[in-house]
Amino acid sequence: MNIPVQPDAPGMTSLTYEHGGNAVNIIKRNGKEVEYDGSKIIAAVEKANNEVSEKDQLLASQIRVVEEKVARKLKDLDHEAGVEEIQDYVIESIQEEGAFHVATIYTVYRYKRELVRKSNTTDDKILTLVEYDNEEVKEENSNKNPMVVSVQRDYVAGEVSRDLTDRLLLPHDVVEAHKAGIIHFHDSDYYVQHMYNCCLVNLEDMLQNGTVISDTMIEKPRSFLTACNIATQCIAQIASSQYGGQSISLAHLAPFVDISRQKYRRIVKREFEENGIPLDLEKIDAIAEHRTAEEIKQGVQTIQYQVTTLMTTNGQAPFITVFMYLDEAEEGQTREDLALVIEEMLKQRILGVKNEKGVYITPAFPKLIYVLDEDNITEGSKYWNLTMLAAKCTAKRMVPDYISAKKMREYKNGDVYPCMGCRSFLTPDRFSPEGEKRKYYGRFNQGVVTINLVDVACSSNRDMDKFWQILDERLELCHKALRCRHERLLGTTSDVAPILWQYGAISRLKKGEKIDKLLYGGYSTISLGYAGLYEMCMYMTGKSHTDPDTKPFALRVMQKLNDKCNEWKAAENIDYSVYGTPLESTTYKFSKVLQKRWGKIKDVTDHNYITNSYHVNVREKIDAFTKLKFESDFQKLSPGGAISYVEVPKMTDNIEAVLSVMKFIYENIMYAELNTKSDFCQCCGYDGEIQIVEDENGKLVWECPNCGNRDQNKMNVARRTCGYIGTNFWNQGRTQEIRERVLHL
């Protein structure tokens, strides 16, 4: 739950109150979950009651009625209430008893306590972090373990940064809109520092021209294995200098395969000569090729295991995506070597990595993307064997995800390139001189602000004219917040992150040089995110956006977002772009604030999550092919970032079905993935799907269907939640969303 409770506010301390045999829990302001105690409500109301004249006082029986009303309301909720919500219920119940003077006294006390709290809330929240007592943070990020000290250190720093951001750096209206869930100002815990979001790493530049890591010169590698080692070191350094995802291309590593091959030919030839063996070039080449293959295996293993085991300064593995596109390498030996590297990458991912029990499981990183194109999409095509291997890998380990070169060329001015991290796409290159190679690697995203479309709809009260008016106002608020992100980066010198700005990951600026020129002219992007298109349509029209009558309205809203971005871009020469927000923990936050503001509206606010971006709602019955075809129209209008998925059962015995989906992706949609299942119970060895069930208190928990194990520390669960695979479990809202996903195949 995202709304905490302060212990010294009226009625907000932690004693027990039972309803129907089950304890009702509340969340304190510091994020700690405690059991509700009705006696505290009674004490708080009695205190306010004693402040008014006798004729305006509540009777003792009425005070008990006030508490009982609050308790009933809390019991009916499907989430743990926070302080503001409970206090609203107290005031509402007092007023229902006709004691308006008492309600006023209670409200004044509440306001005074709020002023006092502003001086120490951050301190209190930090203490709950280090004591592993903050329910909000425990499941805020499904790839961070909050028990680990490095994660706690990052969270502590984040709380301090967020506090400074809210009080000193952001405009008041932006802060209040973020707190209210009207917009989401992403990664505010990193805003104090001059950091950007995500990027495409120019690994080619760093490897071919050398780089510097921790003041140490790293020269051009002389073997494939060394190149892989350097790449992983670069990945770790880059991840510690930004807060979002990064992507590298295997095409930048492929040229080093032949360097190793030529090295082994020289070595083998020398071995023949030293041992008096007649020179046989065919045998020499065969031995050299065998040793090269072994080095490819070692190099890929280095990438997989180092990425999985590396921990950046924010206490998690780097959010890294590996791009596999055959046509990115020159035709000939380099492309054939790239095919060998891709093949090994897929084989090792199919195998997985070992958990603490020595059992192979699905790792979260690196995320893999495989590009479907003419030379690998049909049986008998040159690289069909790689596509078959990719299908087997998807069935077993949920990756790779798939980019259709055919559709991407349509959307991106003929270019094919990876997303930055899980889904954020650069705008097509508009700055390179005519005739030069188009530039994508070394570019980045400045940051994201997301608009809550569901709240826009609810605020309009189904008045279409008012809806468009409110949408305009909220978009301008997002624009203001995005300008804050942009201006926070203006004036940043290259010295803040030398690996990025001076040594090739992004650019080769001089020491002390400002990065400003990279913030304009389309070199970098900045993202207008959006969430809840489905719920917006349900509120405004009573129908899903999959309904033919409602789809035009949904597309019109999407076009409006694009029109605004184009308007801002034309005026400021900054590449604003519409971005399909992944909403990991924020889906829960948005749902809670919507319920608080508007109550529970069927199919709009009655779940603990809202739908990511343009996606078909997880509960809607639709087949895989219809879903992908439908969502393709929305991907076109989400140029700054989008990914579609289909939810499928275990597919290891049905590779043909996986291939049929892949072929459909190639013909119909730019970027999509298959969500398979990949779990393991450490108690009994079960390797099927771990289930989500309700415990005796109504909380959603994970349970092995074979042995009943519910200990999250003794199971490995991997689920796709926001483009990346998550392996560290999720908050109650996201868990409910995962539980309610229908199968599309």
**Residue positions annotated with a catalytic role:** 197-198, 420, 422, 424, 445, 579, 584, 723
Block residue for tokens 């992908």 = 628
Closest CA to 330 of 277, 275, 254, 426: 254
Count of CB atoms situated within 10 Å of the CB of 289: 15
Q: Which residues, 6 or more positions from 695, have their beta carbon under 8 angstroms from its beta carbon? A: 701, 710
Question: Which region holds residue 622: left if phi is over 0, alpha if psi is between -120 and 50, else beta?
Answer: beta
Task: Report the alpha-carbon distance of residue 562 to residue 576 in Å, rounded.
Answer: 9
CA–CA gap between residue 451 and residue 480 (Å, rounded): 12
Q: What share of the chain is helix, strand, coil (3-state, %, to 5)?
A: 50, 15, 40
> Which three-class secondary structure state does DSSP give residue 537?
helix
Contacts with 526 (C-beta within 8 Å, 6 or more apart), sequence order: 445, 446, 447, 448, 482, 485, 486, 574, 575, 576, 577
Q: If residue 346 lies in a helix (H) or strand (E), which one and from where to where?
A: helix 333-351
User: Mapping DSSP to helix (H, G, I), strand (E, B) and coil, where does residue 250 land?
Assistant: helix
At 187, the amino acid letter reads D
What does the alpha-carbon distance between residue 368 and residue 356 come to, in Å, rounded to a whole number?
Answer: 24
Torsion of CA 16, 22, 27, 32, to 10 degrees: 70
Q: What does the alpha-carbon distance between residue 704 and residue 562 come to, in Å, rounded to a whole number?
A: 45
| Strands across the sheet containing 25-27 | 33-35, 25-27, 81-82
Helix, strand, or coil here: 509? coil
The structure tokens listed for 397 are: 């380990």
β-pair partners for 211: 218
Half-sphere exposure of 608 (CA within 13 A, CB side): 21
Terminal alpha carbon distance of the chain: 33
Q: Alpha-carbon distance 294 to 113, whole Å?
A: 67
Question: What's the farthest any 2 CA atoms get from each other in the chain?
Answer: 114
What is d(CA 479, CA 177) in angstroms, rounded to the nearest whole number? 13
Two structure tokens written together for 419: 């997303």
Rounded-to-integer distance, Cα 17 and Cα 38, Å: 6
Rounded CA gap, 689 and 667, in Å?
31
DSSP 59: P
Residue 469 CA to residue 689 CA, distance in Å, equals 46
Can you read off the two tokens belonging to residue 139? 């499941």
CA distance 556 to 280: 69
DSSP 3-state assignment of 398? coil
CA distance 721 to 708: 24
For the purposes of burial, counting CB atoms within 10 Å of the CB of 308, is it exposed (0-12), middle (13-18) or buried (19 or more)?
Answer: middle
Between the CA of residue 2 and those of 15, 194, 224, what are the distances in Å?
20, 27, 47
CB 680 within 8 A of CB 355: yes
- How many other CB atoms sit within 10 Å of the CB of residue 187? 18
C-alpha distances (whole Å) from 262 to each of 104, 209, 329, 609, 626 are: 84, 20, 19, 56, 50
The amino acid occupying position 556 is R
Alpha-carbon distances of 119 from 116, 124, 264, 333, 429, rounded to whole Å: 6, 10, 67, 65, 48
